Chains A and B, each alone.
Chain A
């Protein structure tokens, strides 16, 4: 009883600490939103929406505007291979892309007129700013939930180190602020790419799975897969999250602890896989996917068909039809591969993502949130049309595991690498396309360097997480021996 009371007090104090930390978080979050709004005020959104890093054939706002215009002109929005996104996004964002010159007639000032002509972009930008804000809040909530359950499991193993209690911000706050203040995220938001919306649904999936709300997780997963194909592999960490619960130390520890101590009045630490919640999740997934498919079929009914929609969205992603340069590694390769081998290499590149699923799932099944992070990092490296919104997502999620990854090697090297690549890549693009003094190899070299840094990040984070687990095992073994 006494221990329960102290536990309640401890959780309350933790909540108060979070509130205090929350004050800091809200301040920084509001500042991030204001910063985005200031950047949006600049004419033409700083021309970021025309950069290849920001707008890919999947995320470009101009293609969305074109698709919306085609739909308004009683044609299929997929005509002419311009728009490759979801028809639901057309209904939501389409009307916001239309230029509205309502206010220009009452304006005498030339400066103001110039900024009002681009008024149409503001509606769209506000949607993306809102998406970013909600993503930040959801990351914070996920991080808080993860931290709470992790602390609980560590405490049950008597491994909790009081010194790990950082006074200021929890890992969730740090992760949310990293996400909100990441230059990649800001560029993706101000440059009007649709990746903030995709990231929002991915984070919603993780939040729903971490808090155990199956319909929310199902909805997030269905929408994320619908918007871009790659979050489909997140079904495995979501199932693991709902089955096993959020990240915990390896189950070996719990079993060895049970063998060591008998008659403990803490609750049973048997990590059993709850099939009920998974079934719940699957039911909700099927319901949401039917709903989304029905909505899409109604939306495309008049001038297009569902088959065309799948062909132009998923088919486009999988067959890599557009070879315009981006920060990924596929465009250069598929520009020079022979047609005879094209299908083979498409299978190779996509199965490169698929092959990693099973081994990582086996090895990291006790840490499904971290597994989701690794999956997201791998898919953003090998996806057909990566943009700057993908590192925004996984770098934000990386912040959730700062406690465990504190001893990660090469962290400074990676930081410098990311900064260097993000500065050099636009320079090389300019040299190649605009000045003509470079060629595609310059730009592709930065893309390859970027892929190398991503690989190093994934490898190092996984190895440091496994090292952390080994440390925990050693610690608990030494404690048991005591």
Chain B
């Protein structure tokens, strides 16, 4: 007896559990398929372009080094091939023409002053008080007002590799913007997640040079993101040296050694990211550089740094020109054109026949006009007409007397 009821209940339970299992399995299958699809999609889409978003989040004269950091990286990235159209540079931009700057319109990242970073072709996209958390997040997610020009938008697509470099003052899970706001780690993670949803990048490298920079990546979950920070939680990032002539520190250590690594490279070098990451010496940095690779599928030894810091494109050579437009139309087009001209001629002749039939006055006028066009100089005709006045007058006077 007991066995019957438990049989029915157990059968119902079994059905229910099997149903739940089936549902769960299907969900897992779907998610795996989706994951596979997304994973495979990120592997099957081609890497087509590189973008760089370089943000300096500080202002005021004593934060000279942050602007020098950003401008140095801007210069490096440009030198290695990314054009200005693919760089979003956000700076407070108050150093070069600051009244405290002994070298006006010049920004140095080294006390030897060999390199003027604020040269002729620095294109700052967001300057001054436009460098806000809101604008930064808008740039990342691509949600701008319609009036924002294209030069201020991150127009990346699913084939883009984006380098995001941020420097300034930061702390535990936050980054200070312009001494008045802060960007928190979950804001950054949300923005990156939105970018991933909208297929705004294929791979993203985030490089942050602030104090306790690694805490900014705590909330990141999106795949395809590589993150590197200058210091871990509880550590400060230090400046490299003080330029006694300018009066402030001119560069940070992490960026200094990053730049030292890149100065040895040119566009065609295939130095890998692992070499970059291994080049950071904690003794020299006075902090522990941290990189997060769990969200990044590829092996760091196979990824050249120019995938993010430069722009080496693979060109596919084809023999056919204008491959974007279908070829087959051209012979037909020429045929149509010749057909048209013949028709046009016949139409034109029809029209002239019609006008010929119309009015003798217009016929006379048109024939006169055609004759006048054949006459070389209209001025001589006018002079002839003027000279003819005299004999006509004399004749008429003679006739009427």
B393, A216: Cβ atoms under 8 Å?
A: yes
The residues of B that contact A295 with a CB separation of less than 8 Å are 382, 385-386
Give the residues in chain B near A213, CB-CB below 8 Å.
397, 400-401
Given the complex, which residues of A lie within 8 Å of B378, measured CB to CB?
298-299, 301-302
B residues within 8 A CB of A215?
Answer: 393, 396-397, 399-400
Chain A residues with a Cβ closer than 8 Å to the other chain, count: 18
Q: Mark B374-401, 1 if CB is under 8 A from A, else 0.
A: 0000110111011001000100110111
Say yes or no: A298-B386 contact (C-beta < 8 A), given A213-B400, A219-B393, A284-B396.
no
Partner of B372, one of A88, A280, A301: A301
- Those of A35-81 within 8 Å (CB) of chain B: none
CA distance A216 to B379 in the complex (A): 26
A298 to B399, CA, bound (A): 28
| Complex Cα spacing A471 to B367, Å | 64
Q: Say whether B381 contacts A298, CB under 8 Å.
A: yes
A87 to B382, CA, bound (A): 10
- For chain A residues 300-316, which have a beta carbon within 8 Å of chain B? 301-302
Residue in A closest to B395 when the chains form the complex, CB atoms: A215
Chain A contact residues: helix, strand, loop or mixed? helix
**CB–CB A298/B383 < 8 A:** no
Rounded to whole angstroms, the CA-CA distance of A215 and B393 in the bound complex is 7
Cβ of B98 to closest chain A Cβ, rounded Å: 52
Question: What are the interface flags for A91-125 relative to B under an 8 Å C-beta threshold, 1 for contact and 0 otherwise?
Answer: 11000000000000000000000000000000000
Distance A216 CA – B389 CA, assembled complex (angstroms): 11
Closest chain-B Cβ to A226's Cβ sits at a distance in Å of 12
Q: Is A214 engaged at the interface, CB distance under 8 Å to the other chain?
A: yes
Nearest residue in A to B375 (C-beta to C-beta)? A298
Shortest Cβ distance from B382 into A: residue: A299
Q: In the complex, which residue of chain B has the Cβ closest to the Cβ of A277?
A: B400
Q: Is the interface of B mostly helix, strand, loop or mixed?
A: helix
User: Are A298's CB and B385's CB within 8 A?
Assistant: yes
Contact partner of B397 (CB less than 8 A), chosen from A92, A216, A291, A298, is: A216
Contact with B along A281-295 (1 / 0, CB 8 A): 000100000010011
A88 touches B386 (CB 8 A): yes
- Quick one: given A298-B372, A301-B372, are A88 and B393 in contact (CB under 8 Å)? no
Contact count A vs B, C-beta below 8 Å: 42
B393 / chain A contacts, CB cutoff of 8 Å: 215-216, 219
Instruction: Tell me, in angstroms, the Cα distance from A299 to B382 when the chains sit together.
Output: 6
Kindly identify which residue among A87, A92, A214 contacts B400, using a CB–CB cutoff of 8 Å. A214
By the criterion CB–CB under 8 Å, are A298 and B396 in contact?
Answer: no
Annotate A185-203 by CB proximity to B: 1 below 8 A, 0 otherwise. Answer: 0000000000000000000
**How far in angstroms is the closest Cβ of chain B from A85?**
15
Q: What's the minimum C-beta distance from B387 to chain A, rounded to whole angstroms?
A: 10
Cα(A87)–Cα(B379), bound, Å: 11
Complex Cα distance A91/B384, Å? 11
Report which residue of A87, A88, A92, A295 has the largest number of chain B beta carbons within 10 angstroms of its beta carbon.
A295
Report the nearest A residue to B381, measured CB to CB. A298
Chain B residues in 8 Å Cβ range of A302: 378
**Complex Cα distance A294/B381, Å?**
11
A298 cross-chain contacts in B, Cβ below 8 A: 372, 378, 381-382, 385
CB distance from A123 to the nearest CB of B (A): 16
Q: Determine if A88 and B396 form an interchain contact, defined as CB atoms under 8 angstroms apart.
A: no
Most chain B CB inside 10 Å of its own CB: which residue of A87, A284, A298? A298
Docked Cα-Cα span, A351 to B378, in Å, equals 39
**Chain A hits for B379, CB < 8 A:** 91, 299
Most buried by A among B382, B386, B399, B401: B382
Q: Are A91 and B382 in contact (CB under 8 A)?
A: yes
For A280, what are the chain B residues with a Cβ–Cβ distance below 8 Å?
400
Q: Is B397 touching A91 in the complex (CB atoms < 8 A)?
A: no
Alpha-carbon gap, A295 to B378, bound state (A): 10
Give every chain B residue within 8 A of A87 (Cβ-Cβ).
382
CA distance A301 to B368 in the complex (A): 13
Write out, one digit per residue, whether chain B residues 350-378 have a CB within 8 A of any chain A CB (1) or not (0): 00000000000000000000001000001
A residues within 8 A CB of B372?
A: 298, 301
Please name all residues of chain B whose beta carbon is closer than 8 Å to the beta carbon of A291 when the two chains form the complex. 385, 389
Interface flags for B102-131 (1: CB within 8 Å of A; 0: not) read: 000000000000000000000000000000
Give the chain B neighbours of A214 by CB distance below 8 A.
400
For residue A216, which residues in chain B have a CB less than 8 angstroms away from its CB?
Answer: 393, 396-397
Cα separation A92 to B387 with both chains bound (whole Å)? 10
* Cα-based distance from A480 to B381 in the complex (angstroms): 63
* Interchain CA distance A303-B319 in the complex, whole Å: 51
Closest chain A residue, CB of each to CB of B379: A91
Interface pair A92/B396, CB less than 8 Å apart: no
Chain B residue with the shortest CB-CB distance to A89: B386
Beyond known contacts A284-B396, A298-B378, A298-B385: 12 more, CB 8 A cutoff? A88-B386, A91-B386, A92-B386, A213-B401, A215-B393, A215-B399, A215-B400, A295-B382, A295-B385, A298-B382, A299-B378, A299-B382
27 A-B pairs (CB sep. < 8 Å): A87-B382, A88-B386, A91-B379, A91-B382, A91-B383, A91-B386, A213-B401, A215-B393, A215-B396, A215-B397, A215-B399, A215-B400, A216-B396, A216-B397, A280-B400, A284-B396, A295-B382, A295-B385, A295-B386, A298-B372, A298-B378, A298-B381, A298-B385, A299-B379, A299-B382, A301-B372, A301-B378
- Give the interface of B toward A (CB within 8 A): 372, 378-379, 381-383, 385-386, 389, 393, 396-397, 399-401
Interface set of A (CB-CB < 8 Å, partner B): 87-88, 91-92, 213-216, 219, 280, 284, 291, 294-295, 298-299, 301-302
Q: Which 10 A-B pairs have the closest CB atoms?
A: A215-B396, A299-B382, A295-B385, A91-B382, A213-B397, A216-B397, A213-B400, A298-B382, A219-B393, A298-B381
